[in-house]
A and B are shown apart, each in its own frame.
Chain A
Amino acid sequence: MSRSVWKGPYIPEYIMKKVDAVKASGRNDVIKLYDRATTILPQFIGMTFGVYNGQKHIPVLVTDQMIGHKFGEFSLTRTYYGHGADKKAKRGK
C-alpha cells in the first residue's frame, strides 16, 4: 500500500539540517544516514550519503535517476562476493 499523498515524502528533520550544514560548508562531505526509508529529493543530487546497512555505511552518490526512491534501495544488507568472471567496473567521472 502506498503512502498517502497528503503526508508528503518521508524525510526526517535532522537529515535536512545535516544537508543544509553540508551545503553551507561548501565541502562535499558524506552525510551518515540511518533512516533507510528516507525518500531521495531533487535537492540531494550530487551529494554523497553514507547509508547504513546494519554493519557499515555504504556511500551513495545521488543522481537524478534516484529521485523518489528510498536510500535503502542503494545499500544492500546482504553481501554476496560471488565470482568476478568477466564483470567490468567503469571508473566514474
Chain B
Amino acid sequence: MSNNNLICIAKITGTHGVHGLLKVKSFTENVETLLQAKNLYDKTGNKTFKLNDIKSHKDGFLCKIDGIENPEDGVLLRGQELYIDRDTLPEPDEDEFYYVDLIGLDAKLVNGDIAGKILAVQNHGAGDMLEIKPDGAKSFFVPFTEQNVPEVKMKDKYVTIVPLSYAANDDDK
C-alpha cells in the first residue's frame, strides 16, 4: 500500500477494561466512514488493522483488534493513528470537494500568476473558506464560492481565485 494515498481518520487513545478493548477517537464527519472501513493502516501503509465490535462510548468509540486480548498489549497501541485508503471514500457530489483533495493545490489568479498554495480549508460558521499561503507572506482567506473560486481543476492541481477587494480607506475608524 502506497502511503501517498492514505488519510488519517482516527486515533487509538487508550484501553478500556481488562479484555483488551481499545478507545478510538474518530476525526471523521460521517461516522459510517469509520464503521464501514474494511482495512485501516498505519502511517507507512505496511501494517493493517481490522476493528471489530465497534460501539459508541462517550465522545469516541470502543473496539476490539485481533491479537489484543489484554490492556498490557493494548497500551502499546496508544497514540496509533489509523489511516484509510483515499480511493475507498465515496465520490463527492457536484461542487463538493474533500478537504484532503483541496489542501496543497496551487492557487492561481485569473491572469495566471501563482498566488500561493492552499494551506487549509476553514469553516467558522459563515461558509467554507480557503486559507491561501503565499511564499514568504501571511496567509489570507478566500470564501469558497463560485464568485471567488471560479475554477477548481483537480487534475491539473490548481484552483483559480479572485481575492477579496477591501473598501478604500478601510482602516480608518
- For the complex, what is the distance from the CA of A6 to the CA of B137, rounded to whole Å? 46
Give min CB distance, A68 to chain B, whole Å.
14
Q: A61-B126, A73-B125 are in contact. Are A85 and B8 (CB under 8 A)?
A: yes
B113 at the interface (CB under 8 A from A): no
| A90, B126: Cβ atoms closer than 8 Å | no
Which B residues are in CB contact (< 8 Å) with A63? 126
Of A48, A79, A85, the most chain B CB neighbours within 10 A belong to A85
Give min CB distance, A37 to chain B, whole Å.
15
A-contacting 9-mer, from B38-46, B57-65, B70-78, B90-98: B90-98
Query: What number of A residues sit within 8 Å (CB to CB) of B?
Result: 41
Q: How many A-B residue pairs have CB under 8 A?
A: 133
| A27, B98: Cβ atoms closer than 8 Å | no
A29 at the interface (CB under 8 A from B): yes
| B9, A86: Cβ atoms closer than 8 Å | yes
| A30, B98: Cβ atoms closer than 8 Å | no
Give min CB distance, B8 to chain A, whole Å.
5
Q: Which of B93, B122, B129, B167 contacts A21 (CB 8 A)?
A: B167
Which B residues are in CB contact (< 8 Å) with A66? 126
A3 at the interface (CB under 8 A from B): no
B103 at the interface (CB under 8 A from A): yes
Binding site for A on B (CB under 8 A): 7-9, 26-30, 33, 89, 92-93, 95-100, 102-103, 120-129, 138-146, 149, 152, 164-168, 170-173
Binding site for B on A (CB under 8 A): 12, 14, 18, 21-22, 25, 27, 29-32, 34, 48, 50, 56-63, 66, 73-76, 79, 81-93
A–B complex contacts, Cβ < 8 Å, 9 sampled: A12-B173, A29-B166, A29-B170, A56-B141, A66-B126, A74-B125, A83-B9, A85-B33, A93-B146
